[in-house]
Amino acid sequence: MAVQEGDGDHTAATTPDPTVLIVDDDKDLADTCEYWLRDEFSVCVAYSGQAALDTIDDAVDVVLLDRRMPGLSGDEVLTELRDRDFDCRVAMMTAVEPDTDIVEMAFDEYLVKPVDEQDVIGIVEELLVRGEFTETVREYFALESIETVLTNRDNGDLRDPAVLGEIKTQLDELRATQESAIKERERQLRRAREINSLLRAVDSALVDGTTRQELESAVCTSVVETGNYNGAWIARYDEVMNTFICQANAGSKVPTVDSEINNTNPVAESIQHALSDDSVRTVAKEVYDDDSAIVAPITYRDATYGALTVTLHGSASNEEQSVFDEIGERLGHGINAAESKRLLYEDAAVELELKHTDTRDVLIDLSVEFNTEVRLEGLSPTTDGVVSAYVAIDIADAETVLSVLSPLEAIIDARIVTDEPTEALFELQLADASVLLPLVEFGSAVESLIATDGSGSVTIRVPPQSDPRTIIDTIQSSFPDITVTAKRKVDDKVQSVSSFKRRLEETLTTRQLDVLETALASGYFEWPRDSTAEQVADSLGIAAPTFHEHLRSGERKLMQAFFAERKHARKSGRANSEMRATSMSTSETKTETETETGSHSDADASEVPTAENEVNSEFNWYLRPHPHRETSSVSGNGSGKRMKIRLWFVMILFSPHSSSPGYWITYQNCSSVEIDAIISQW
């Protein structure tokens, strides 16, 4: 993102992440430190001194080095590093209490274990700043570190307490010759600590917040409480009013929440430029009430959520502009995640139907290229903005389609999943040229995408508090031939956990349920596994192939029950709200007599249920012979009233253990007596 001031601008140079080498024979601690640091740095781990010497190269910026290790000690590793002239900063991170012998060691910092996350991150950040200092100034801060750790010990515990006086003399001499440089670097270090503290406070606020409003308020508060800033507030563009609205604030000299930011506000123009150029802007103190201001856009990839404005005394430095550039991106990422979670857990959503005829989208173009129907069967985000999409194409030669897809730059990878006579299913790793990417970035749920001969429709869901216009503007900037054809609020019927569990247990056979529960209890699903398939099978008294058969069948039924409604909605190309509307319309046409008696109209044997009716049917029974069971019994809690049976579907399954067929029968509101009658007829 560009950082701009006034009418000029410059783009900050991008550099690779600093590299940190962790050296410790305590694998748990080394791995924990790697976990703490990996989000911000490139991290290498060595579990011994020799491994460290084999691993290190000129790319390493900071080394965290344990002193007490078998084989090569940390002291020996440090000596070897300096003899090889590696220009990296080294922090001894050890449980060894420091003594006066450390004066001769060429390290930069000394940390005494135990250490926590803030200790480790803080020392790496500080040593990276020190890496920019001259050798003499670095020597001063390293010596100051030695004085600090030795002073923290009792003089009586030191081997040679007089060394402390010698260190003090050396520090005074160095400061006398380098006073201006040392003062400037001390100021720089203080500023770096403040900035890093601010970023950590913002990160903590983003972790704790669960809604967009909470995240925006928490970030404003963190900026004011942690940094040297007078106020912080967030503006969001209101397209209807064609103005900006204050959504959150903290500190002084800030607009009130929900107030309009009109053109007379000196920051308004900077907000407009920041959002249009996706760049950080500054406002001089002469313009803004004797305070400077930094305006940073709040973005996540192609999505823009508003602008963060921060006021401060004095002029804003380039460093501060870069910091708030990063905070804007972190807040944008947090808002995107929060919006996605709201869509996942809330009962209500806004559903948008889009007409999609833009052949710049690879999926629409495919439908034209092969004069056929293209359907989205499923998708999931992977990493680095790539989306994995499962796409079905009707009546097309799979290898021919693959030969067309593979050379495209927008597709990182493509493979054939299934190839049937009338349909082929592909997995496409999309990095560009599809409306799916910006939709996923906004946290939208893509319910369906179907295209035939260049004419497509897309149905998506977004959280009710989100701004659909922002989403549409973003996707139309890349795909201008997309238009909105419908917008509606929909409510999801939430099935209770106990209800879902009961229905699933009714679907699973006794043996499948036993296998799943035993596998879970024995740690079969852990990685690495606590029990092998053979061990679990032995405990159940069955052969391993039989165990795998029951396990796969049970897992398949679990997945089908969980994903049934969404899969059906995408396959049929209709939103779930349409199915609910149809269901409600049908139920409203029932006669009063039918409602009172609980009866249903007769159904054609070939009738196929909607997923919702299938999932919400009163009972799902599985009738199938099993070698471990003499008879297959069923029971029910029906009302006992005489009812007509509505069969949704019948599928014949053949048991691998018996020549007798079994049957899936799904029915509603039947008494056990009526069920027995049906079974006897079968």
**pLDDT for residue 495:** 55
Q: Do 330 and 358 reside in the same domain of the chain?
A: no
Distance CA 460, CA 483 (A): 13
Distance CA 634, CA 516 (A): 21
**pLDDT for residue 187:** 80
Computed from CA positions of residues 316, 319, 324, 325, in that sequence, does the dihedral angle turn out positive or negative? positive
**pLDDT for residue 557:** 84
Q: Are 24 and 44 in contact (CB under 8 A)?
A: no
- Residue in 233, 232, 247 with CA at minimum distance from that of residue 465: 247
Q: Do 379 and 485 reside in the same domain of the chain?
A: yes
**pLDDT for residue 353:** 92
300, β-bridge pairs? 303
Q: Do 12 and 92 reside in the same domain of the chain?
A: yes
- Within a domain: residue 187? no
How distant, in Å, are the alpha carbons of 33, 338, 672 from that of 626?
A: 53, 48, 21
Q: Do 100 and 137 reside in the same domain of the chain?
A: yes
**pLDDT for residue 482:** 93
Q: Do 543 and 621 reside in the same domain of the chain?
A: no
Of 129, 162, 177, the domain-final residue: 177
**pLDDT for residue 4:** 46
Q: Do 603 and 560 reside in the same domain of the chain?
A: no
- Within a domain: residue 197? no
Q: Do 151 and 18 reside in the same domain of the chain?
A: yes
Of 540, 573, 606, the domain-final residue: 573
For the chain (length 682 residues), average pLDDT per consecutive 10?
41 64 93 90 94 93 93 92 91 87 87 87 89 87 87 80 84 86 83 80 80 89 84 81 84 86 76 84 73 87 84 81 89 81 66 92 93 89 79 86 89 89 89 89 84 93 76 85 88 62 79 86 84 87 89 85 56 43 41 35 36 34 33 34 33 35 41 50 46
**pLDDT for residue 118:** 84
Q: Do 423 and 512 reside in the same domain of the chain?
A: no
CB atoms within 10 A of CB 11: 10
Distance CA 14, CA 563 (A): 42
**pLDDT for residue 303:** 75
- Within a domain: residue 337? yes
Helix (H) or strand (E) holding 380: strand 373-381
- Residue in 459, 489, 468, 462 with CA at minimum distance from that of residue 342: 462
Written as one string, the DSSP assignment of 397-447 is: -HHHHHHHHTT-TTEEEEEEEEE-SSEEEEEEEESSSSTHHHHHHTT-EEE
- Within a domain: residue 201? no
Q: Residue 524 sits in a domain of what CATH number?
A: 1.10.10
- Within a domain: residue 186? no
**pLDDT for residue 59:** 92
- Within a domain: residue 91? yes
Distance CA 252, CA 461 (A): 38
- Within a domain: residue 592? no
**pLDDT for residue 614:** 36
Give the contacts of 667 (CB within 8 A, at least 6 positions apart).
617, 618, 619, 621, 645, 646, 647, 648, 675, 678
Give the contacts of 253 (CB within 8 A, at least 6 positions apart).
230, 231, 289, 291, 311
Q: 634 lies in which domain range?
A: 597-682
> Residue 280: what residue type?
V
Q: Residue 288 sits in a domain of what CATH number?
A: 3.30.450.40
392, β-bridge pairs? 375, 425
Q: Do 101 and 245 reside in the same domain of the chain?
A: no
Q: Do 29 and 168 reside in the same domain of the chain?
A: yes
Q: Do 226 and 250 reside in the same domain of the chain?
A: yes
**pLDDT for residue 5:** 43
Q: Do 273 and 161 reside in the same domain of the chain?
A: no
- Within a domain: residue 582? no
Number of domains the chain is built from: 5
Angle at 413 between CA 411 and CA 419, to 5 degrees: 105
Q: Residue 110 sits in a domain of what CATH number?
A: 3.40.50.2300
Of 491, 509, 543, the domain-final residue: 491
